[in-house]
Amino acid sequence: SYTSYSGENVDVYGLDSRHPTLSNTMLHRVRREYENGMQYQSYIELKYRSIDEIGDRLEQHGLQLVERYADWKKTTLTESSTSFVGVVRPL
């Protein structure tokens, strides 16, 4: 929950689930309930790409992946890393 810019309490509910047919895609749903009774829902699909796919896509757009880290502290990226930070430069 949080307080909106107008001072109204907003309850937030989220649900993540696997895509029914795509193994590299997660579904993310969020519902916001306002004190005045209004509800807003949002939905996105998060597609996960391999590091190689990311590098290929960057090169297609004139960039080169030159460094890879597991976080902003420049921790070495491993197979078990849960995040990715890439340093790129123009080709």
What single letter denotes the amino acid at residue 29?
A: R
Q: Is residue 43 located within the same domain as residue 56?
A: no
User: Looking at the structure, do residues 20 and 33 belong to the same domain, yes or no?
Assistant: yes
pLDDT at 76: 96
Q: How far is residue 32's CA from residue 54's CA, in Å, rounded to a whole number? A: 33
- The verdict on 70 and 37 lying in the same domain is no
Helix (H/G/I), strand (E/B), else coil: 57? helix
What's the confidence (pLDDT) of residue 8? 93
Whole-model pTM over 0.75? no
Q: Are residues 38 and 73 in the same domain?
A: no
Q: What is the mean pLDDT of residues 30-52?
A: 94
Assess whether 30 and 14 both reside in one domain.
yes
Specify whether 40 is located in the same domain as 58: no
Cβ distance 32 to 10 under 8 Å? Answer: yes
Provide the domain count of the chain: 2
pLDDT at 7: 93
Which tens digit of pLDDT belongs to each residue from 60-81? 999 999 999 999 999 999 989 9
**Average pLDDT over all residues of the chain:** 94
Residue 69 belongs to domain spanning: 51-90
Same domain, yes or no, for 32 and 59? Answer: no
Find all residues with CB under 8 Å of 65, minimum gap 6, and list them.
Answer: 51, 54, 55, 58, 59, 86, 87, 88
| Nearest alpha-carbon partner for 44 in 26, 32, 20 | 26
